[in-house]
Chains A and B, each alone.
Chain A
């Protein structure tokens, strides 16, 4: 378990990092916390020619409120975000979901943006970004663009990031879910990738917005209006379960995943509504 030969680059600025990407393109990988990448490197599942370590870039280390968005820089660790004093107030959903990301040891290294860049279908942070309808800030030598969560994550481990782009930040809308937020996750052990994760926040007019992770190749969201009858809601959840499909792996069958969607989505909607009251 030793990585294949590669060059290690540790830029001091985002500009240098982006210049490195422009030079190496698809042959480069960005290293931030390394909690997914280092394992893949050591198993030689990925063999980049260059590793660009952005963990020491000061300009990427901030969490700030920018208008109605919370912007989290690419070098901010999950632990730092969890410890951000305003998290509960402005992002109560993330405050609930973040403790489920790995273990505190991995959160000390793993970054918020790294998890979103990795686009694992079971991860909590991509689910959070999708549920809260956040956006990803991508920078390349030719400029900066913002992509919505739904535009960014295109599939399992697949994103719309171009080879010459790096994520410099992710932006979560502030104050979503302040009237109700809930998160649940089923995994074989605490800290494992979710078999199914469900998150929900109270939306306008008594509606609840729900996101489901771990079942399809990326998180999926639905809205449940206040006016929906229980039976209509059950139908909608049943339809969602089948549409997401689920897949078999060694921890769970597609059918079990669908059953979890059927059972957990109503529970979580109830939890959000209970908060809202």
Chain B
């Protein structure tokens, strides 16, 4: 313990250089020019690569949809999200590389931004990929059974619209790549904490323009978590490989947390319109889904996976035979979406399980009763859903009975009754989830119509490979086609192999590094989609069983018996009928090395077996779009009680019960670890974590002070329960179980919050501020004498930060006008200004250093004056850009003479983006106001001959009054 070594700790080759990435502060912009000269001049900087350099030596990444949405490892021609990699600086060390990155000047031409997927599909929305013609890249309709007939015949239709937010599950260790171009054979040797699926290996090799054999990818045996995210290291693998080729030295890059939260990847946000056709008794006869999934700026392989991964299981735990579904794939100016634990399940179940609660409420039935009436019955497994999934096993009724039994539900009901009697806000939520394990590699082809699939050839299956090797002294070692992320794979594999060979788990040596040049792997390799228990574990079992059978045959020959009579135990191989007739496992196994002549005639010498598992149930989609999306289907039933604090509107989980059926548990302790981890992440999605963009596309959750991962203090106890209905489709009977609570917990808590507050629409995460706004209605007007202005950041117009105010200056309008139009005066007016040069009489360029308190950054400001109405009004607009970020804004100023002085009225709107917006979410708006306030303070000083402004100033935002008063109030 404590001896694990993450990728960053692995020794690097001699001469390794370090990279830092220059990222876009713009959500959408054309790249006009990249000036690398200053960075290249910095001692210690070896090279700077831009998108154009990359484009010349690599190809865009292959994607799933045949659409012209090219993405290279660096932005080419335009940027489409904040944080997009624009250039890299390669230097002696990371410090110098970051110094160099600050010196790369990128000139952008900002484009209109679209953040909300519903707006992205409107006719006048800016199109991210003009060649694709639209931001809606795919819209596929599916029909199973006869939903129209069922809706027409229904007692009632119940409908709901839900929105699953953007979130990600953040690993402790961010991305790491060490890439080494080997000139000798024109190949790349890359160490990276990539997690798979290895279907992306050909994508990387194609981009690098080499055959797969010349991209050697090595994955360390330890990784500090992944949760899906570490698939998305792949563009950086290509980027650093290219960098190494260009500089002729190994190149290392370690992603920092800001980069990770800006640009690693997130789960897709999804807007779902869902409808149920229901009978009087709550039986659902049909479902209709309209799924609009937002993949951010690019569609990286294997996207749009989350929209199709659950496809066969869209009807969840329910026996519903009629289904209509529309799946839309949309792009917006956000970081690209990709793998995140849960992968389509949280989005599906938020819609389905919220709807089931609505069915109960609208029919005035008990929510749990509605669930029960629709469950698939225990006698019908294996059960084929209408969309084609083949549920392997289950007993949903029994699972629910046990979960609610022994007084658990009664206790929740009693807690709710008592709380409500005392006027407290308490609610109960339920959720049932069918949890897929081991994805069918063919499910994504469901996005293509049957005739296209026909032309492309079938895609299906899921292959797992594990090698078990026994050496000359009988010691056993194992390698596998998985990537470790901390799940305890080695523990489980050693247990499975040791069981077969009659050895102790400690006797098995497990090496879970993965090397694409030396290990057995397929495109399905990696660790994702809960494929360990139903996949890798089975391959380990098969490999160990093959070894066992071979050793049994060797032993039979030596012990004068038949192989069927051979048993294994306590490190020995012996005759079942005469246990004294035996030998040490090591001795018998060693025969395969030491004495080939003693081998049975049917066996080759040596003792190394690769177990390959490819379950036959994973068939390609049928001509009617039926698809068995996964091999195993576990079951989760959650119920919880929550209480909402009337003062703070914070949600407290009072009691949480989670029942699982994951078939046979291979290792209960590891299973519990997985379930608890998924529960915490489900809780995070319900109440805490969200990737936030403002309307201008600025990312606002760039640090862990903004992106709120729950800590131990926030995690309530959870009561875990199991039943086991073994899967008939896997030799070990085990199913995947590591994602269920990511799917069930967000909606279970949402249902409880809905129950507590009688809400139809529950926003996720259900933050106290959101619940407060929903429950408390309009705020009463302020008392007399206090103006009831909008809050500071009210998004009037398009800008994220707006405001207005007025100040009275002891100077004439003419003097003020002169000051505004004179570069020398502007130098004194613009806060922190070092120099001003006039580009045209109405366009100035200034070097400024701006900030609040200790935070200060250097910027280039472009200031333009327009709508000039001499001595009366003007519009000032400008752009700011610097290493800390960028801002765009405009303000309108009117001058009114007043008793020998002048009143200046101003309104402004500012958008702030880049690093400072990502990390300063808590203060950025106030900081912007302070700087704007300084502008007017200085204007009044300069215009009035620097003798100080008249003391009367009035920022109309009540909260900004104090600082404006202070700034203008003659304190200096």
Q: Mark A213-247, 1 if CB is under 8 A from B, else 0.
A: 00011000000000000000001001100111111
Residues of B within 8 A of A189 (CB): 688, 708, 710-711, 713-714
Residues of chain A within 8 A of B703, CB atoms compared: 39, 43
Q: Which of B648, B711, B767, B963 has the most CB of A within 10 A?
A: B648
> Which B residues lie within 8 Å of A191 (CB)?
711, 713
Q: Say yes or no: B711 contacts A256, CB within 8 Å.
A: no
In the assembled complex, the CB of B536 is this many whole angstroms from the nearest CB of chain A, namely 35
B919: chain A residues at CB < 8 Å are: 43, 45
How would residues 285 to 303 of chain B score, 1 for a CB under 8 Å from any chain A CB and 0 otherwise? 0000000000000000000
Query: Least Cβ distance of A105 to chain B in Å?
Result: 11
Would A156 and B883 count as touching, CB distance under 8 A? no
Task: Give the complex CA separation of A256 and B649 in angstroms.
Answer: 10
Cβ of B650 within 8 Å of any chain A Cβ, yes or no, is yes
Of the listed stretches A51-59, A69-77, A84-92, A258-266, name the one at the interface; the rest are far from the partner chain.
Answer: A258-266
- Cβ contact of B791, chosen from A247, A251, A267, cutoff 8 A: A247
Nearest B residue to A260, CB-CB? B648
A108 to B853, CA, bound (A): 25
Closest to B781 in A: A242
Binds A, one of B188-196, B208-216, B771-779, B904-912: B771-779
Query: Within the complex, what minimum Cβ distance (angstroms) separates B632 from chain A?
Result: 35
Q: Which of these binds chain A: B414-422, B500-508, B741-749, B921-929?
A: B921-929
Contact flags B37-78 to A (C-beta < 8 A → 1, else 0): 000000000000000000000000000000000000000000
Are B854 and A29 closer than 8 Å at their CB atoms? yes
- Residue contact B647 to A260, C-beta cutoff 8 Å: yes
A19–B883 Cα distance when bound, in Å, is 31
Point out the residues of chain A lying under 8 angstroms from B701, CB to CB.
Answer: 250
Contact among A122, A158, A255 for B773, CB-based, below 8 A: A255
What residues on A are CB-neighbors of B857 within 8 Å?
Answer: 45
For residue B564, CB closer than 8 A to chain A, the reply is no
In the docked arrangement, what's the CA distance between A246 and B957, Å? Answer: 10
* Chain B CB within 8 A of A249 CB: yes
- How many A residues are at the interface, by size bracket? 35 or more
Asked whether A16 is an interface residue with its Cβ less than 8 Å from the other chain, the reply is: no
Contact of A155 among B692, B710, B930 (CB under 8 A): B930
Q: Is A162 an interface residue (CB 8 A)?
A: no
Chain A residues contacting B792 (CB-CB under 8 Å) are 245, 247-248, 254
Q: B739 CB to closest chain A CB, in angstroms?
A: 24
Q: Is the CB of A243 within 8 A of B958?
A: yes
Known contacts A45-B857, A46-B856, A157-B854; A259 and B772 CB within 8 A of each other: yes
Q: Which stretch (A1-9, A131-139, A164-172, A173-181) binds chain B?
A: A1-9
Q: Taking the nearest CB of chain B, how far is it from the CB of A256, in angstroms? A: 4
Interface centre among A39, A40, A189, A244 (most CB of B within 10 A): A189
B581 within 8 A of A: no
A252 to chain B, nearest CB (A): 5
Give Cα A46–Cα B851 distance, bound, in whole angstroms.
10
Distance to closest chain A CB from B832 (angstroms): 12
Closest beta carbon of chain B to A259's beta carbon, Å: 6
Contacts known (A245-B960, A255-B779, A259-B772); A188 close to B257, Cβ less than 8 A: no
Q: Which residue of A186, A235, A245 contacts B957 across the interface (Cβ within 8 Å)?
A: A245
Expressed in whole angstroms, the Cα–Cα distance for A217 and B915 within the complex equals 22
Given known contacts A186-B768, A255-B773, A259-B776, A247 and B853 CB-to-CB distance under 8 angstroms: no
Q: Kindly report which residue of chain B lies nearest to residue A103, judged by CB atoms.
A: B711
Q: Are A155 and B966 CB-contacts (below 8 A) given A189-B710, A244-B959, A255-B773?
A: yes
Q: Report the Cα distance A264→B776, complex, angstroms.
A: 16
Closest to A267 in B: B647
Q: Mark B694-709, 1 if CB is under 8 A from A, else 0.
A: 0000001101011010
Judged by a CB distance under 8 angstroms, whether B783 is at the interface is yes
B855 within 8 A of A: yes
Contact between chains at A245 and B927 (CB < 8 Å): no
User: CB-nearest residue of chain A relative to B960?
Assistant: A245
B152: interface (CB < 8 Å): no
Q: How far in angstroms is the closest Cβ of chain A from B858?
A: 9
A193 interface residue (CB < 8 Å to B): yes
In the assembled complex, the CB of A53 is this many whole angstroms from the nearest CB of chain B, namely: 16
**Interface 9-residue window, one of B94-102, B362-370, B429-437, B869-877:** B94-102
Q: Does any Cβ of B come within 8 Å of A154's Cβ?
A: yes
Q: CB distance A247 to B793 under 8 Å?
A: yes
B375 contacts partner chain A, Cβ-Cβ < 8 Å: no
Does residue B614 face the partner (Cβ distance < 8 Å to A)? no
In the assembly, what is the distance between CA of A104 and CA of B338, in Å?
Answer: 36
Q: Establish whether residues B786 and A239, one from each chain, have CB atoms under 8 Å apart when the complex forms.
A: yes
* Complex Cα spacing A246 to B852, Å: 18
Q: With A and B bound together, what is the CA distance between A190 and B301 in angstroms? A: 38
**Distance (Å) between the CB of A25 and the closest chain B CB?**
13
Tell me which residues across on chain B come within 8 A of A250, comparing CB atoms: 692, 700-701, 706, 921-922
| Known contacts A155-B966, A251-B767: A245-B852 contact under CB 8 Å | no
Distance to closest chain B CB from A269 (angstroms): 13
Cβ of A246: which chain B residues have Cβ within 8 Å of it?
A: 791, 959
Docked complex Cα distance between A119 and B99 (Å)? 29
Q: Judge if B570 is at the interface, Cβ distance under 8 Å.
A: no
CA of A154 to CA of B967 in the docked complex: distance in angstroms?
Answer: 11
**Contact assessment for B925 and A2 in the assembled complex, using a CB-CB cutoff below 8 Å:** no
Chain B residues near A217 (CB, 8 Å)?
A: 926, 962-963
- By a CB distance below 8 angstroms, the chain B residues around A37 are 854
Residues of chain A lying within 8 A (CB to CB) of residue B719: none
Question: Which B residues are CB-close (under 8 A) to A248?
Answer: 791-794, 925
Distance in Å from the Cβ of B776 to the closest Cβ of chain A? 6
Tell whether B884 is near chain A: CB-to-CB under 8 Å. yes
A253 on the interface (CB 8 Å rule)?
A: yes
A256 near B769: Cβ-Cβ < 8 Å: yes
> A residues 107-127 with Cβ under 8 Å of B?
118-119, 121-122
With known contacts A44-B884, A156-B853, A191-B711, A251–B776 Cβ distance under 8 A:
no
Query: Which one of B256, B692, B767, B922 has the highest number of Cβ atoms from chain A below 10 Å of its Cβ?
Result: B922
Residue of B nearest to A247 (CB): B792
| CB pair A242 B923 closer than 8 Å | no
Cα(A93)–Cα(B710), bound, Å: 28
Question: Which chain B residue lies CB-closest to A39?
Answer: B703
Is A192 interfacial (CB-CB < 8 Å)? Answer: yes
The distance in angstroms between the C-alpha atoms of A251 and B708, with both chains bound, is 10
Give the Cβ gap from B125 to chain A, nearest Cβ, in Å: 24
Q: Let me know if A188 and B102 touch, CB within 8 A.
A: no
Evaluate contact between B925 and A45: CB separation under 8 angstroms.
Answer: no
Asked if B916 is at the interface (CB within 8 A of a chain A CB), the reply is yes
**Mask for A25-45, Cβ within 8 A of B = 1, else 0?**
000010000000101100111
Instruction: Judge whether B184 is part of the interface by a CB distance below 8 angstroms.
Output: no
- Interfacial chain A residues near B915, Cβ < 8 Å: 43-44
Is B258 an interface residue, CB under 8 A from the partner?
A: yes
Contact A45 B773 (CB under 8 A): no
Q: Please indicate the chain A residues that have their CB under 8 angstroms from the CB of B710 in the complex.
A: 189
| A243 and B916 contact, Cβ closer than 8 Å, known pairs A250-B692, A250-B700 | no
| In-complex Cβ contact of B923 among A1, A235, A249, A254 (8 A) | A249
Residues in B neighbouring A254, C-beta threshold 8 A: 791-793, 959
- Shortest 4 CB-CB contacts between residues of A and residues of B: A245-B959, A157-B853, A254-B791, A190-B713
A sample of 24 cross-chain residue pairs with beta-carbon separation below 8 angstroms, ordered by A number, consists of: A1-B257, A4-B102, A40-B854, A40-B855, A43-B919, A47-B856, A122-B922, A154-B966, A155-B853, A155-B930, A157-B852, A159-B853, A189-B710, A242-B783, A243-B958, A244-B959, A245-B791, A245-B959, A250-B922, A251-B708, A251-B769, A253-B769, A253-B791, A264-B648
Question: A residues engaging B (CB < 8 A)?
Answer: 1-5, 29, 37, 39-40, 43-47, 103, 118-119, 121-122, 154-159, 186, 188-193, 216-217, 235, 238-239, 242-256, 258-260, 263-264, 267
Given contacts A37-B854, A253-B769, 20 further A-B contacts (CB under 8 A): A2-B98, A4-B99, A29-B854, A45-B855, A47-B856, A190-B711, A192-B705, A192-B708, A193-B922, A216-B962, A217-B926, A245-B960, A248-B925, A250-B700, A251-B922, A253-B773, A253-B791, A254-B791, A256-B768, A260-B647
